[in-house]
Amino acid sequence: MKTENQKAWFFVLPVLVLVAFNALIPMMTVVNYSVQETFGDNVFFWQGLDWFEQILRSDRFHAALGRQFLFTFLILIIEVPLGIIIALSMPRKGFWVPVCLVTMALPMLIPWNVVGAMWNIFTLPDIGLLGYFLNHVLGITYDMTQNPLAAWVTIVTMDVWHWTSLVVLLSYAGLVSIPDAYYQAAKIDGASNWAVFRFIQLPKMKTVLTIAILLRFMDSFNIYTEPFVLTGGGPGNSTTLLSIDLVKIALGQFDLGPAAAMSLIYFAITLLVSWLFYTLMTKDDLN
């Protein structure tokens, strides 16, 4: 039997050090904060697991968590099918390929806070292009600064505009990797468009789609900047997603202990959902 060379592990070291400093050590500090109370000046008092109990039973946390799941669910249910449809209708070769790809990539190149500011100005009812058009030309009452439903429609639309491209580009990469022979075989068998999609394109896109859905889940579950700039969590608390609430507790109220406990619960949820999804999607590949 050939002995495996384990030296390659040393090449992982730099990444390990990097992750230690930008993730692991801050994370350990958060764990330490979560069992203590502080009034500043780096003085801490032992608090035990009270913060966890308090957060887990607080209606405010339940409400923010509910809004967060609703938001993530809505954007996934829109972005994934929409992304696949767009990827399927994009040309596979010729002049229009780069045009489509660059157009698709454009929204993703814009920084989060700029996206939030753009959509804010775009949708303001009296001066925004969309807001003015809806209110004063079409006569639809639409005010995302006053009406929770309008605010939700706006943040969901903004996220769809910003991130559907990611699903599109990944699906497209999956699609172009399918050899022509598959399509020819399908044609010979007289397969319908749906059958081609269901038995050739979808299975071939499975890996990239898994990654796309995972990335969109994690990103949307942790989303902060865009809704913060667009609605600031309002009107009222209607668009206060988990991360916005977390920052309010941590920096607005300076309750570092409860905020730390909340972020650990938040982390546990993200971790479990991502792990479950990834494990279930790749289960058949490994066996």
**Site of interaction with other proteins (CB under 8 A):** 4, 25, 28-29, 31-33, 35-36, 38, 42, 44, 46, 49, 52-53, 56-57, 265, 268, 271-272, 275, 279, 283, 286-287
Q: Report the alpha-carbon distance of residue 241 to residue 155 in Å, rounded.
A: 11
Alpha helices in the chain (DSSP H): 13-19, 25-33, 50-56, 59-89, 96-109, 112-123, 129-132, 148-176, 180-188, 193-196, 202-221, 225-230, 242-247, 256-286
- C-beta of residue 47 within 8 angstroms of C-beta of residue 37: yes
- Least Å distance, CB 272 to other proteins, is 6
- In Å, how far from its chain's centre is CA 133? 30
Nearer to other proteins, 25 or 195 (CB): 25
- Least Å distance, CB 204 to other proteins, is 23
Q: Report the alpha-carbon distance of residue 105 to residue 164 in Å, rounded.
A: 10
Q: What is the largest CA-CA distance in the chain?
A: 78
Phi then psi for 46, rounded to 5 degrees? -65, 135
Could you give the 3-state DSSP secondary structure of residue 14? helix
Q: Which residue has the tokens 């990654």?
A: 211
Nearer to other proteins, 8 or 127 (CB): 8
- Least Å distance, CB 252 to other proteins, is 21
Nearer to other proteins, 36 or 222 (CB): 36
- Least Å distance, CB 80 to other proteins, is 24
- Least Å distance, CB 89 to other proteins, is 37
- In Å, how far from its chain's centre is CA 275? 15
- Least Å distance, CB 249 to other proteins, is 17
Nearer to other proteins, 224 or 278 (CB): 278
Q: Report the alpha-carbon distance of residue 155 to residue 227 in Å, rounded.
A: 6
- Least Å distance, CB 18 to other proteins, is 18
- C-beta of residue 135 within 8 angstroms of C-beta of residue 88: no
Q: Report the alpha-carbon distance of residue 247 to residue 224 in Å, rounded.
A: 9
Q: Which residue has the tokens 């020819």?
A: 184
Q: Which amino acid is at 178?
A: I
26: which 2 tokens? Answer: 């801050």
Nearer to other proteins, 55 or 87 (CB): 55
Nearer to other proteins, 7 or 283 (CB): 283
- Least Å distance, CB 32 to other proteins, is 4
Nearer to other proteins, 3 or 192 (CB): 3
Nearer to other proteins, 127 or 286 (CB): 286
